[in-house]
Chains A and B, each alone.
Chain A
Amino acid sequence: MQLRRRSFIKYASLAAAGNLAGMRPFGALNALAATTPDYKALVCIFLYGGNDANNMVIPTDTAGYGRYSSVRTAGGSSIALAQNTLLGLNGVNYGLHPSLPEIQSLYNSGAAALITNVGTLTQPLTKAQYQAGTANPSNLYSHPDQQEEWQNAAASGVTTTGWAGRVSDVLSGSYNTSATIPMVTSVAGDTLFCNGVSTTPVSVSPGNLGGASCSEGSECSARQTAAQSLITFNSGVSLITADDHITSNAYSYAATLTAATKSVTPLTTVFPATGLGAQLKQISQIIQVRAALGVQRQIFFCGIGNFDTHSNQVALQASLLSQISPAMLAFYNSTTEMGIANQVTSFTMSDFARTFQPNSNTGTDHAWGSHHIVFGGAVKGGSLYGTFPSLVLGGTDDSGTNGRWIPSTGSVQYAATLASWFGVPANQLATVFPNIGTFATANLGFV
């Protein structure tokens, strides 16, 4: 089997160079800003439920595919994808799920990369260490816990902040000094990812950017004034105070976003009419008016659910991947249309991968290390990063016997790489990612 494995050690020198670049930034950046406004955005696309990455990136060489196919076929049924349906990736013996043609094109054009066997870790972990159980992430295989651990990239399971929020905490003083909305925007509700110590996100409902509607004609203004005065009264009840705070922010953000987008010319990029398509379209529109919002750095969160394919996996996953793939390409195209493809980097996260071994109900169960997609003009694409699991049940990559891969790359490294590109200085990385120092590198080099 001819695996193309990119060792991280190979990238250590590049990572160091990146760090150096990060330490001399402001003169250079400001010079650049004179002609090209200094703007960067990160976009997180969360695949809720645990995407079966084992059916997303598949070995295409004979031995590799054979191993894949034989494990995923059992008890008279199979969830293995036919070899001749896999979408080829330039230069590697891996193929993509047939529902991802747009991702294939992004990859093959160099705008997308695949990061393999990434997962929640508090430190690099061998199978022996896993079995000893002293350094394992908490509540492996639990949806909400693993979602949180991907989103917080922290040293322990339970935190009140996510890594986007903490990045914003660190960078809001350097960038966005005249911003009228927070650095972090969610178009998929509030999530841990977005919350920092001093950061709360602006939430936006896709397609509903404006303020509240009012049918009272000339009395609308007076009604709003009265409503807004009510949220200033002290009640003595903590939850009322909390809701007053949220509502107060809502009035403010709605006014800001309405004003910023009022006369903007819509982008011509067409987004698919799906939930994720609408979310990414909304993100594009907000990026489009970045100057009016006074933002130089933005992190966006969007998501799509139902990846928890315990049953009927082949059809369900195909349906879901066929939603994300065109939406991602449309989003990339919109950044090209805006001329900022190199300034926007998008990436997937998900609870976990799924058991390589199928269950008796045409599905798969909760697992661990997974493969993820990163795309954007700045991405060093067209490559697979990380160490692909050996796909051997009970092997050294398997935490047990069902193909729940021990991640070879920590999700915190994945996050730190993105955060470094975004502008978090090397000397601040440990502030954002407390356990990044336990890993060999903080920069995987894919962007």
Chain B
Amino acid sequence: MLHLRLFRASPKTPSATALLALAFLAGCSGGSTGSGSTPSVTVALSGATTVRLSETTQFAAIVSGSANTAVVWEVNGVAGGSNATGTISSSGLYTAPAAMPGTTSVTVSVVSAASATATATVTESLLNPIAVLSSTTVTQVGSTLSYSIDVIGSNFVSGAVILANGTALTTTYVSSTELQATVNVPSGTTTLTVMVSNPNPGAVNSSALTANLSYVAATPTEAARFLDQTSFGPTAASIAQVQSVGMNAYLMQQFNMPTTVLASIPVSPFPAVCLSSNTAYPCAESEWWTTAITGPDQLRQRVAFALSEMFVVSTQSIPGQAIPQFHNALANDAFGNFATIMKDVTLSPAMGGYLNMMNSAAPAAGQIANENYARENMQLFTIGLYALNQDGTHQLDSMGAPIPSYTQAQVQAFARAYTGWTLANPGGAAVTKFPNNSGDYNDPMVAVAKYHDTTAKTLLNGTVLNAGGTAEQDLDGALGNIFADSNVGPFVCTQLIQHLVTSTPSPAYVSRVAAIFANNGNGVRGDMQAVLRAILMDTEARAGDTNASYNGGHLREPILFMTAMMRALNFTNADPNGAYYNLSNYTTTLGERPYRANSVFNFFPPDYVIPGTTLNAPEFGNENSATSILQLSLADSIVNNKIASFTVDLSNTSALGVMATNPANLTDYLGKVFMHSQMPANMRTTIINAITPLTSNAQRVRVAVYLVITSSQYKIIH
């Protein structure tokens, strides 16, 4: 008997051992039997009893008892078989059907041509094919330990399962060439071995593919949005960094990052940067821009910038030398306690000079104490005009009217409490002059006792500073009195939220953050790290990570627009002195120049409402039909490398220029860096269509970047 091994040489094929055939005896004349009768014709059949769908197996027939060895092959009684049940050739090569027929086996028969009764039959079991994998894509779901697996290949059968590192997964059958599943992996998993098993009959694992897991702790959208809230603009590198460590770890890194210090500015001679202008403020601006654009302590500097728009000083009326000390204090204190910020601001020569606490003496007969700092410290910096609920809404009196936070008499009491301060002496020598006009702008102010008003002062909430207190005691008493006021949390937190996240926080959001301001969980009031974490990780801050249409955000103010451009497009400084202050000239036309606001009310008021709407959107105070056009012109200068003191490579051979060979690739890259990978489809199409006809890759880059950065979708950080 001939045994034929016809199975494919796959190691995974189960016992396809060929076997016997049954020999049927068949009488040629009605089945009569007996010795000496005509020899009977018999057929023996051999071949494998299992075959996988679409595959072939060879059967062999041996006719005995007749010189005529011809046979006819049938499948389920049909000569030659059919597509549904499989076909069989004249030489006995059976080809299994592509899909499982109603049953999982067929009958293969062979009939002798010499005798129709000489037949042999085998029941052939049909097995599902072995899946063949060609590729697999493994993608992290959000910033979780979940990965979606997409497998491309062939021979997939409904009911097939994906196995990931040996574990069978609930699998979605997409088609015979694609399967999908989701797997949760243990932390630290770096590779995923993917196989597919079709279902029984014949279930067996496919060969394996191995995917490296690119674990990201944040999605591209989360990372870029977070960086728009916590830095001076995302870059490809910073997005990758936040993706790899996640938002929480990035926060911790930034909280621990030391302060980049603005260098102090000598009075004479001026540093080279501001020598030609012969005034100190360009030096201060240059220091500031450099730090904002290149400093590693991005969150610290960004918060300091926000604070500088709340505690406003301006070189329009104070010397530029005062700025480094002031800014460094804000940056150093950004992750400390709000009470420290209050005190450091109060004693800074910058604020002292700007709101005139410096050199404010105890009033003589016929005079009053200077009320400037006393009033604005309460109105603008700490508690605001009206008593607030924790959620930032006004408390109302029995008539439904808001309740003033303080009276004119209290302003005058604080004014007297703040008397007696003047500039320190360089090196710390005791100050006896008042005013000490030749003093030192690099150190906090100092008190000269005899110029302090020592009469009693009645402050907020009935607190009295008794007569006879020193300048230092009264200052601590006054600031402590304000810091303890319940308005401080909602008033300050609302503005921090508006500067970092959204113009229109819900009262609930304000309330959640203000509660943390009141108590960080360990009984500490005013903990800035806790407040910042509460602001940035709030569900309202994060909602846009997964919903590009989430109705929030705030206008990218001119200074933040400029820093974002410098960072994302990788502008480099080309000034012989390394001066950055020329950037100020571009933002000035749009209404902003670092530390040079028109008044203590900042570049825009926190309560600004967009005309014709009810939207409180502070930065829109600078957005109008004039600045809108000027910003278009600025964008044109940016993409055409016309920013004085700076250069950028957007040529054909630049990274973006090379990318521009494929307009979609370029547009998607810009969408990632500038628009949190959330560029709307119609915008994407418009930009691709606009640049595709351009024959210069450099021009494609310029036009594409221009269209992105001038769009309202980009201007509104959302």
* Interfacial residues, chain A to chain B (CB-CB below 8 A): 48-49, 71, 73-76, 139-145, 160, 186, 189-190, 194-195, 200-205, 208, 211-216, 219, 222-223, 226-227, 229-231, 233, 235-247, 249-251, 253-254, 305-306, 308, 310-311, 355, 357-361, 363, 365-366, 400, 402
A239 touches B419 (CB 8 A): no
A237 touches B687 (CB 8 A): no
Q: CA–CA, A336 to B449, complex, Å?
A: 59
A230 touches B367 (CB 8 A): no
Interface stretch of the complex, out of B106-114, B524-532, B546-554: B546-554
Interface stretch of the complex, out of B39-47, B233-241, B617-625: B617-625
A311 touches B636 (CB 8 A): no
CB distance from A150 to the nearest CB of B (A): 15
A237 touches B625 (CB 8 A): no
Q: CA–CA, A251 to B694, complex, Å?
A: 24
Q: CA–CA, A343 to B474, complex, Å?
A: 57
Q: CA–CA, A322 to B599, complex, Å?
A: 20
CB distance from B371 to the nearest CB of A (A): 4
Residues of A close to B615: CB separation below 8 A: 238-239, 242
Residues of A close to B605: CB separation below 8 A: 144
Q: CA–CA, A227 to B687, complex, Å?
A: 9
Residues of B close to A308: CB separation below 8 A: 372, 599-600
CB distance from A412 to the nearest CB of B (A): 21
Among candidates B375, B610, B633, B686, residue contacting A141 with C-beta atoms closer than 8 Å: B375
Residues of B close to A231: CB separation below 8 A: 711-712
Size bracket of the B interface? 35 or more
B713 touches A365 (CB 8 A): no
Give chain B interface residues in 470-519, CB to chain A under 8 Å. 503-504
**A/B interface sample: 22 pairs, CB < 8 A:** A74-B365, A141-B408, A142-B375, A189-B627, A201-B624, A203-B624, A205-B589, A211-B629, A212-B632, A213-B632, A213-B637, A222-B690, A223-B703, A226-B686, A236-B551, A243-B716, A246-B623, A249-B625, A254-B625, A308-B372, A311-B370, A363-B356
A310 touches B356 (CB 8 A): yes
Interface assignment of B200: CB less than 8 Å from any CB of chain A:
no
For the complex of A and B, the 9 pairs showing the least CB-CB separation, nearest first, are A75-B364, A74-B366, A212-B632, A236-B549, A203-B624, A250-B628, A310-B372, A203-B626, A226-B690
Q: CA–CA, A233 to B637, complex, Å?
A: 25
Beyond the given A204-B626, A235-B713, A237-B718, could you list 17 further A-B residue pairs with CB under 8 A, ordered by the A residue number? A48-B598, A202-B625, A203-B625, A205-B630, A213-B637, A219-B694, A230-B713, A233-B682, A237-B551, A240-B553, A243-B620, A311-B356, A360-B362, A360-B363, A360-B369, A365-B370, A366-B375
Interface assignment of B12: CB less than 8 Å from any CB of chain A:
no
Q: CA–CA, A240 to B626, complex, Å?
A: 18
Residues of A close to B699: CB separation below 8 A: 216, 219
Among candidates A229, A237, A250, A357, residue contacting B550 with C-beta atoms closer than 8 Å: A237
Among candidates B366, B372, B503, B707, residue contacting A75 with C-beta atoms closer than 8 Å: B366
Interface assignment of B181: CB less than 8 Å from any CB of chain A:
no
B629 touches A254 (CB 8 A): yes
CB distance from A114 to the nearest CB of B (A): 26
Quick one: which of B504, B637, B703 has the most chain A CB within 10 A? B703
A195 touches B612 (CB 8 A): yes
CB distance from A50 to the nearest CB of B (A): 11
Quick one: which of A140, A144, A226, A400 has the most chain B CB within 10 A? A226
For residue B370, which residue of chain A has the nearest CB? Answer: A361
Q: CA–CA, A145 to B359, complex, Å?
A: 28
Interface assignment of B146: CB less than 8 Å from any CB of chain A:
no
Q: CA–CA, A242 to B711, complex, Å?
A: 12
Interface assignment of B316: CB less than 8 Å from any CB of chain A:
yes
Question: Do A233 and B680 form a contact, CB below 8 Å, given A242-B615, A357-B368, A361-B370?
Answer: yes
Instruction: Decide if the interface of chain A is mainly helix, strand, loop or mixed.
Output: loop
Give chain B interface residues in 659-718, CB to chain A under 8 Å. 680, 682-683, 686-687, 689-690, 693-694, 699, 702-703, 706-707, 710-713, 715-716, 718
Among candidates B362, B367, B690, residue contacting A358 with C-beta atoms closer than 8 Å: B367
B642 touches A215 (CB 8 A): yes
Interface assignment of B613: CB less than 8 Å from any CB of chain A:
yes
B611 touches A200 (CB 8 A): yes
B360 touches A360 (CB 8 A): yes
B707 touches A230 (CB 8 A): yes
Question: Do A305 and B599 form a contact, CB below 8 Å, given A236-B549, A244-B712?
Answer: yes
Interface assignment of B646: CB less than 8 Å from any CB of chain A:
no
Q: CA–CA, A214 to B642, complex, Å?
A: 12
A143 touches B601 (CB 8 A): yes
Q: CA–CA, A241 to B713, complex, Å?
A: 9
B711 touches A71 (CB 8 A): no
For residue A236, which residue of chain B has the nearest CB? Answer: B549
Q: CA–CA, A293 to B707, complex, Å?
A: 30
Interface assignment of B64: CB less than 8 Å from any CB of chain A:
no
Residues of B close to A358: CB separation below 8 A: 366-368
Residues of B close to A142: CB separation below 8 A: 375, 379, 385
B549 touches A237 (CB 8 A): yes
Among candidates B316, B371, B552, B612, residue contacting A359 with C-beta atoms closer than 8 Å: B371
For residue B641, which residue of chain A has the nearest CB? Answer: A215
CB distance from B639 to the nearest CB of A (A): 8
Interface assignment of B33: CB less than 8 Å from any CB of chain A:
no
B694 touches A365 (CB 8 A): no
Among candidates A216, A230, A237, residue contacting B686 with C-beta atoms closer than 8 Å: A230
Per-residue interface assignment for chain B, residues 416 to 437, with 1 indicating a CB less than 8 Å from any chain A CB and 0 otherwise: 0001000000000000000000
A247 touches B712 (CB 8 A): yes
A75 touches B367 (CB 8 A): yes
Among candidates A202, A205, A212, A253, residue contacting B636 with C-beta atoms closer than 8 Å: A212
Residues of A close to B316: CB separation below 8 A: 306
Residues of B close to A244: CB separation below 8 A: 712
For residue B386, which residue of chain A has the nearest CB? Answer: A139
Question: Do A74 and B367 form a contact, CB below 8 Å, given A219-B694, A243-B555, A244-B712?
Answer: yes
Question: Do A226 and B680 form a contact, CB below 8 Å, given A360-B360, A360-B367, A360-B419?
Answer: no
